[in-house]
Structure 1
Amino acid sequence: MENKQAIKILTDIIALDTTNDHESQIADYLTDLFKDYPVKIDRVTYAPGRDNLVITLGESGPMLGFSGHEDVVDAGDLANWQTPPFTPTIKAGKLYGRGASDMKSGLAAMVVSMLDLLNSGKKLPGRLRLLASVGEEIGEFGAAQLVKAGYADELAGLVIGEPSNFNIRVTHKGIIDYYVTSKGIGVHASTPELGRNAIMPLVKFAQEAQTLMASHTEKDPVLGGLTHVISQIQGGNQINSVPDQAWLSGNIRTTPLYPNQQIMTELEQIISELNAQGAQLAIRYSYPEVPLPSQADTKLAKLAQRVVRKSLGRGGELVAGTGATDASEYIQASNNFPIIILGPAAGVSDHQPNEFIAIDDYLAGCKLYQDLAWQFWQENLKV
C-alpha cells in the first residue's frame, strides 16, 4: 500500500470522535475497507452505537491475534490544543489528533498490514484475527465481551498495538478502582449528638486502607511495588449540617505478588469491621483488571524482539508497564496463549493535549506487523 493511502486510513479514524463511546463509527469504517476481501467479519454489539469488530483472514493454520481499541479518552479543554483534536493535522513529520498515539495508530497499522497481506497475492500459511474492542479506556469491557464470546479461543498468540516505542511490553500492573459510600443521619450542626456524621467512617476507612496497602512492601522484580491512592472524597450538603452521605474513591495498581482478589478481600474486611462498629459503608469496584504475568520467556516475545530489530534496527527491548491494557482480559481466555504489547507510538503524549505520532513510526509499524505475522506463521508451522 502506498504511504499516502496508509496515512489516510489513520487520519480517517482519528477524525471519528469515539470518546468513550460511539465506537461503531470505526467498526463501520473498517467493515467498508474489508468488504470486498475474502475475510470473515463479525460485529459484536456491546450497546447501541458501540460495536466490537472481529476480522479474520486466512483459511487454516496457526492464528495470530492483533488487538486494538476503538475508543479514546476525552480531549479535555480545547483551549490547550494547538489544532482541533478530531481534525488530524500533519506538522513537521508528526500527525496530531486525539488517539494518534493511544491507540488509533496501532490499530490503523494493523489494519494496513492485513490489507497488504491480502493484496500480496501470496497464499497465507496461517490465520490472522483483528480484535477491535470498545471501552478499553474505561474498563476493558469490550475485550471482556469478546473473550466471553470465544473469539480468543483459537489464538496461538496476541499482539496488542498500544504505544510501546517499538519495545515489547511483556508485563504490566493490574488496576482496582473502588468506591466506598457512607450513610449517616443528617441534623443541624448545633446538635450533632442527634445525628451520625457520614464523613467520619470514611476517614477511618481511608486511614486503615492506606496503612494496610503501605504494609505490602514486597516488590515485583520488574513491576515494582503495589501503589494506592485515595483519589476523591466528597460529602455533606452545607457547612452547618451533619452530613448524611459521603463517598470516596481509590485507585490501586496491583502486581502478581498481591493479586486483585487478595486486595479486594482486604478492603472488604476493613468495611466489615467498621460496619460492626456502627458505620454504614458499602464498597463497589469499577472494572478491576488483573496484572499481566511476565511474557518475557514466551516464544512470541522473543520472536517479536528479533523481528523488530531486523526490520527496524532499533527498539526490541523487553519492558514493563504500569498502565493496564486489554491483555488483562485476554489472559482470562480458555486458551493459554502468549500476549505482548507492541505499538509504533512512543506514548509520550497519551491522554494529553496535542497528542501525536511521528509519521515515519506509523509507517514503520505498518510494515512491522506484516513482517511479524509472516514470521509467526513460519515459526508455528515448524515441527
Structure 2
Amino acid sequence: MTSDATTIAQHLVRCPSVTPKEGGALDYLQGILEELGFACQRLVFAEDGTPTIDNLYARFGTAEPNLCFAGHTDVVPVGNESAWTYPPFGGEIHDGKLYGRGTADMKGGIAAWVAAIQTLFANGWRPDGSLSLLITGDEEGPAINGTVKMLKHLYEQGERWDACITGEPTSSETLGDAIKIGRRGCLDGKITVRGTQGHTGYPALADNAAHRLIAMCDGLVKWHMDDGSEFFEPSNLAITSIDIGNTATNIIPGKATAAFNIRYCDLHSGPELVAKLRDILTAAAGGEAFYDLDTYVAGESFLTEPGQLSDLISDACQKIQGVRPEFSTSGGTSDSRFITNYCPVVDFGPINKTIHQVDEHLEVKDLEDLALIYGEIIRNFFG
C-alpha cells in the first residue's frame, strides 16, 4: 500500500474514466480504503434517458462527528489526443509536473485526501468520530445519478454528515490562495420562436421569427440583473447559441431558436428568474403566443457563511503554505450545491489553471503540499 499522493494520482489518471465510464478508478480507490479499514458501498443509480452511474461511499468509524470528503473520478473527454504533449491517460511526470486528464479536476484532490489519511493512520492517529468519502462518477455529466441520489439514499439509511470538503480545484495562482464558500446558481434556457414562413419580397404575408428572436435576445442582453452581493459577483446571462436553420436568403424563417445560460448570485432563485425571463421575453416578442421557453435549473446558489469550517482550512493553508485563502464564490458549479442541503460544505483543492485543457497538469510539489494541508484539516477537525 502506497502513502504517496503522487503515486495515487498517477494510478487514478491512468484509469480512463471519461463520464459515464468508471474506468477502474473507483475499484482502485475502494481497494486502498478497504485496506485502511473503511467500510465501502458501491451505489449504482439509473434513470431513463441518462447513463447508469457507479458511485462509491466509504466510511471509517460509526461515531459522530462525521467529516466527509466529496469528489468525482469522472473526467471530461480529452479532445484532440494528438495535441497532447504527453498521453492524457499516461500519468507521466515531466519537469516536476504530473500530466493527464483529471490531474487537477479532480483526481489530484482525491489522491491528496487519501494520502493524508494514510499518513495519519500510519502514525497511529485515528479520528474521534468518523471519516467518510462520497465519490461520484457523474459530476462532469448530467449530475443526475451521482451525488444527489447518493445523498438521498444514504440519508434515508441513517447517514449524517457534520461537515464536508469538496476537493474541486479552487486555487488560482498558488496552492491555498482561494476556497469556494459558495457557488452561483445555474440556469439553462432555450427559446423557440414561432412565426410564419414566407417570401422576402412579400413580408406582409409572413411573420419573421428571426426578427422576434433578435428583439428577445436584445432584451435579455440589456437586462441588468444585479450588482452582486457581499460574497457574490454580479449575476450574468450569456446567449450561447442562435439557430435559424435557413439555407436560403429569400425565405423569411418561420422558426428560430436561441439558447442561453445564467449564473446568478444569492439575490435570486430559479423560479423568480424564470418569471422575470417570461416578462422580458413576452414584452419583446409581442406576446406569449409567439414563443416557448424551456428552462432547467442545474443548481441554486448557496453560501456557507465564513466560520469554523472555512477557518479550519485557512489555518491549515497558513501553516503549510504561509497564505490565507480568499473566500470566493466565482466560477462554475460543483456537487456542493447538493451537499449544502445536508451539512456545511466548502470547496478546496489544487490550482485550476489547466482544468479541461489539453496538457492538464499539476505541480508534484503542490500535490504533496495539498496532502499536508488536508492532513492538518482532518486532524484539527477532531481537535
The answer, yes or no, to whether TM exceeds 0.5 is yes
Aligned length: 369
Q: Distance in 2 between the 1:273 and 1:146 partners?
A: 42
Task: Select which of 128, 131, 136 maps to 2:131.
Answer: 128
Please say if residues 24 and 49 of structure 1, whose CA atoms lie closer than 8 Å, have aligned partners that are also in contact: no
Q: Distance in 1 between the 2:344 and 2:168 partners?
A: 16
Q: Distance in 1 between the 2:277 and 2:141 partners?
A: 22
Task: Select which of 60, 65, 80 maps to 1:62.
Answer: 65
Residue 277 (structure 1) aligns with: 287
Cα–Cα, structure 1 residues 33 and 194, in superposed 2: closer, same or farther, change >3 Å?
farther
Cα–Cα, structure 1 residues 138 and 93, in superposed 2: closer, same or farther, change >3 Å?
same
Cα–Cα, structure 1 residues 86 and 241, in superposed 2: closer, same or farther, change >3 Å?
farther
Residue 270 (structure 2) aligns with: 260
Structure 1 residue 376 displacement after superposition:
0.5
Q: Distance in 1 between the 2:294 and 2:122 partners?
A: 49
Please say if residues 24 and 52 of structure 1, whose CA atoms lie closer than 8 Å, have aligned partners that are also in contact: no
1:369 has 2:374 as partner: yes
Q: Distance in 2 between the 1:157 and 1:193 partners?
A: 64
Q: Distance in 1 between the 2:322 and 2:218 partners?
A: 47
Q: Distance in 2 between the 1:18 and 1:248 partners?
A: 32
| Residue identity opposite 2:166 in structure 1 | I
Residue 167 (structure 2) aligns with: 161
Please say if residues 147 and 332 of structure 1, whose CA atoms lie closer than 8 Å, have aligned partners that are also in contact: no
1:16 has 2:31 as partner: no
Cα–Cα, structure 1 residues 200 and 16, in superposed 2: closer, same or farther, change >3 Å?
farther
Structure 1 residue 57 displacement after superposition:
0.9
Q: Distance in 2 between the 1:377 and 1:187 partners?
A: 72
Q: Distance in 2 between the 1:25 and 1:181 partners?
A: 42
Q: Deviations over 1:52-91 (max 9, x none)?
A: 2111112312000101122222322334321222222211
Residue 338 (structure 1) aligns with: 344
Q: Distance in 2 between the 1:62 and 1:278 partners?
A: 52
Task: Select which of 225, 228, 231 maps to 1:219.
Answer: 228
Q: Deviations over 1:318-356 (max 9, x none)?
A: 3213222211111123xxx3212111x211112221111
Residue 381 (structure 1) aligns with: none
1:305 has 2:311 as partner: no
Q: Distance in 1 between the 2:107 and 2:254 partners?
A: 45
TM normalised by structure 1 equals 0.86
Of residues 360-369 and 281-290 in structure 1, the stretch that sits farther from structure 2 once superposed is 281-290
Structure 1 residue 272 displacement after superposition:
5.0
- 2:133 is paired with a residue whose SS is strand
Q: For the aligned residues, what is the CA RMSD?
A: 2.6
Q: Distance in 1 between the 2:278 and 2:55 partners?
A: 34
Cα–Cα, structure 1 residues 285 and 33, in superposed 2: closer, same or farther, change >3 Å?
farther
Residue 148 (structure 2) aligns with: 144
Structure 1 residue 161 displacement after superposition:
0.7
1:34 has 2:33 as partner: yes
Please say if residues 23 and 49 of structure 1, whose CA atoms lie closer than 8 Å, have aligned partners that are also in contact: no
- 1:103 is paired with a residue whose SS is helix
Q: Deviations over 1:273-318 (max 9, x none)?
A: 567736442222345222231432x2111122112222x1323323
- 1:249 is paired with a residue whose SS is strand
Task: Select which of 225, 229, 233 maps to 2:242.
Answer: 233
What runs of 5+ residues in structure 2 fail to find an aligned partner?
A: none
Structure 1 residue 211 displacement after superposition:
2.3
Q: Distance in 2 between the 1:260 and 1:188 partners?
A: 40
Residue 72 (structure 1) aligns with: 75
| Residue identity opposite 1:202 in structure 2 | L
Cα–Cα, structure 1 residues 247 and 138, in superposed 2: closer, same or farther, change >3 Å?
farther
Task: Select which of 68, 93, 96 maps to 2:96.
Answer: 93
Q: Distance in 2 between the 1:172 and 1:278 partners?
A: 32
1:198 has 2:209 as partner: yes
Q: Distance in 1 between the 2:297 and 2:10 partners?
A: 31
1:326 has 2:350 as partner: no
Q: Distance in 2 between the 1:261 and 1:138 partners?
A: 24
Q: Distance in 2 between the 1:281 and 1:138 partners?
A: 29
The percentage of counterpart residues that share the same residue type is: 26
Structure 1 residue 146 displacement after superposition:
2.3
Please say if residues 52 and 133 of structure 1, whose CA atoms lie closer than 8 Å, have aligned partners that are also in contact: yes
| Residue identity opposite 1:172 in structure 2 | R
1:6 has 2:21 as partner: no
Q: Distance in 2 between the 1:40 and 1:98 partners?
A: 29
Please say if residues 75 and 105 of structure 2, whose CA atoms lie closer than 8 Å, have aligned partners that are also in contact: yes
Residue 362 (structure 2) aligns with: 357
| Residue identity opposite 2:84 in structure 1 | W
Q: Distance in 2 between the 1:23 and 1:339 partners?
A: 25
